[in-house]
Copies of this chain bind each other. A is one copy, B any other.
Amino acid sequence: MSEYTITVVKNENPKPKPASDQLKFGKYFTDHMFIYDYSEAKGWHNPRIVPYQPIVLDPAAMIFHYGQTVFEGLKAYRTKEGHIQLFRPDKNMERLNLSNDRLCIPAIDEEFAINAVKHLVHVDSEWVPDAEGTSLYIRPFIIATEPYLGVNPSSMYQFIVILSPVGAYYESGINPVKIAVENEYVRAVKGGTGEAKTAGNYASSLKAQEIVSKEGYAQVLWLDGLEKKYIEEVGSMNVFFKIKGEIITPELNGSILNGVTRNSVIELLRHWDLPVTERRITMEELDEAYRNGELEEAFGSGTAAVISPIGELAWGDKKLIITEGQTGEVSKRLYDTLTGIQFGSVEDPFGWTVKVK
């Protein structure tokens, strides 16, 4: 048996599956999970698919105290023909290792991790829903498990993958959201962990999110942590603006997450010969473009919602109503094309989709 042989213990008590049109995001989980252990002596070892079950850890396990953990998020899609496919899993595993490096977690074999995900999705393939816009959300994550209260990298880890059948992120399909610019709290700063997909970034974002949601905003738009001038990202998405025909997204600077959907949007726009630029952009510039009638569209990009048009942006007392609060043309085209490629109804000229068995 090779070190890469995945053992499988089948779940003898499968759960009832929720109806495809009753799904919510991240509430239901499938019958199996993937587990892979790390110790200093053995490296990554004992890859296995087992019945979905609780994680049992010593109360001193380092994950509970010092947050040494990373995660990824991707999806499996069921095509009209009934095949199952993933979208760019190589980008997720590449990023997982970049996050690992920042968090002092030992690297994972990326190809093997993709195979493990495929294997797990195959075992739980009946859980991949088939209603319009639904998919199987895949959550790989790594946690530090050594029971030790010293502030040091852990000597033990678990790499775990769980699966969750999810509905369309917005029940009514693609729909403009209202976003508030955050002027007090900071998500990340250069030299911090903003580029890594690690728990602490999300923990620190909860407070700002809680405040604006009381005021009716879906998410916050984060500015840079240094001058609170430059636009960074929206809640848990990257962000794009169309100004006088040019599509602009903040350049990766060490504190912005290198989104897989962000990258796909950029490649798609280039493929369409639409002008797209990665550069710094301030709220001042955006507001000026708005006042000059030059801000044509704004949208977020991410795995969960794919493309999320921004219909309103609140910046202090100012309210920018974008594309008359409607979904813009480029947003719609990107959404249709990306979801089309993901679900196999639109040709994939990039080789982004990967079949599961």
Q: Which A positions have Cβ atoms within 8 angstroms of B?
A: 25-27, 29, 33, 52-61, 63-69, 71, 102-104, 137, 139, 141, 143, 147-153, 160, 162, 164, 184-193, 198-207, 209-210, 225-226, 228, 235-236
Contact = CB atoms under 8 A, between A and B. Distances in A.
Given A56-B56, A103-B207, A192-B192, 9 more contacts: A54-B57, A60-B139, A65-B71, A65-B202, A66-B206, A68-B203, A186-B189, A199-B199, A226-B226
Contacts of A139: 60, 65, 149
Nearest to A186: B191
A189 B192 CA distance: 9
List the number of copies, as a whole number: 2
A60 B29 contact: yes
B184 A191 contact: yes
A199 B200 contact: yes
A326 B153 CA distance: 30
Nearest to A204: B193
A199 B66 contact: yes
A162 B147 CA distance: 12
Nearest to A27: B148
B63 A52 contact: no
8 contacts: A59-B162, A65-B71, A65-B199, A66-B206, A67-B200, A153-B210, A185-B191, A186-B192
A65 B236 CA distance: 13
Contacts of A198: 67, 200, 203-204
Nearest to A101: B207
A206 B68 contact: yes
A81 B205 CA distance: 49
Contact of A67 (B61, B151, B188, B199): B199
Nearest to A153: B206
Nearest to A188: B192
A167 B67 CA distance: 25
Contact of A207 (B102, B148, B209): B102
Contacts of A209: 151-152
Contacts of A25: 149-150
Contact of A64 (B55, B103, B187, B210): B55
B164 A60 contact: yes
A275 B221 CA distance: 45
Given A162-B59, A200-B199, A104 B54 contact: no
A48 to B, nearest CB: 14
Contact of A186 (B29, B54, B59, B190): B190
